Amino acid sequence: MWAKILYAFLTLIGGIAYGLLLGGISRKITARMQNRRGPTVWQNFIDLWKLFRKKTAISHGVMFYLAPMFRLVGGAGTFLLVPVVVGSPYLSNFSFGGDLIVLMYFMVLGCLGMALGAAESGHPHAPIGVTRGLSQMAGYELPFILSVIVLMVADKTATLEGIVRAQQGGILHWHLFTHPFAAAAAFISLLGMMTSYPFQVVLAPQEIAVGPPTEYSSTFLSYMFSGRSVFAVAKYLLFMNLFLGGASNLLWAFVKTFAIFLWPLFITNVFPRLRLEQSVLFFWTWPTFLGLVDLLRIYLVR
């Protein structure tokens, strides 16, 4: 048991580092697409170390300071429930029977914690951010949960390990191809999860230069960066296991998660931002319709 905890802890550290590296690559690619030089890919590591060493003299309520911890715990907890390599004694993390259902609840912990922290910040724009964040979450959660239900019904399992094993036998057995409508709905929902354009409605940098990056500082902001980095990697791993057949080794895990990472990156550099009502309406129409189509198809085939 202690060995498993040690391996999970080392995997978590690796996940945070991988997330920070992907964030640096994202900033570099975005800069190049905008004809800028951009920061180095290691800049996120430098920023994290600099913030972790700083202190703050700002005084707010207790929940304001707990919010970054909610973010970090939510991201780390989600990561530890998702196996990096199914069947590996070192990289399977803490997957168990019914873990997919627990994941659906655990993934919202960070968002709810940040909403509570924003509500206690005293900033006049905080209610706007909370409303936007929770509304957006309600929008993309519906088609994503529908997609997961499709896979659970089709594979007759509620575990990630079972879903990965159901996709073995070649690339054509991946759920990306066997359940294309559910996969399309989930990958569209991923854009909302990653707050990528056109669904960047929470921070809305074109409107007001406020939000968690400006309200928090010092060590608290470093916790937020760490939580955001590991949460992003956890979502890439989750989608890899759900739709790309999982990974047989660490190299394939890097390749597949990096391919998933490129999807929201390039979309966010092409499309303009939607308004909140447009974003939620979009998630509740086309992706939800696609998820329902695959769910109906499963029952009709039976």
What's the pLDDT at 163?
Answer: 94
Q: How far is the C-alpha of 254 from the C-alpha of 231, rounded, in Å? A: 16
- For residue 172, give the DSSP letter: G
Q: Cα dist. 8→98, 215, 246 in Å?
A: 19, 32, 18
The amino acid sitting at 97 is G
pTM over 0.85: yes
Residues 6+ apart with CB under 8 A from 128: none
What's the pLDDT at 196?
Answer: 85
What's the pLDDT at 147?
Answer: 94
- Residues 227, 110 contacting (CB under 8 angstroms): yes
Q: How far is the C-alpha of 7 from the C-alpha of 172, rounded, in Å? A: 32
Low-confidence ranges of the chain (pLDDT < 70): 57-59, 203-215, 302
Angle value at C-alpha 136, between 134 and 138, nearest 5 degrees: 70
Q: How far is the C-alpha of 259 from the C-alpha of 252, rounded, in Å? A: 11
Q: Which residue in 87, 77, 121 sits closest to 227, CA to CA?
A: 77
Q: How far is the C-alpha of 24 from the C-alpha of 214, rounded, in Å? A: 19
What's the pLDDT at 52?
Answer: 83
Q: How far is the C-alpha of 158 from the C-alpha of 98, rounded, in Å? A: 5
Residues 6+ apart with CB under 8 A from 96: 159
What's the pLDDT at 71?
Answer: 84
For the chain, the structural domain boundaries read 2-301
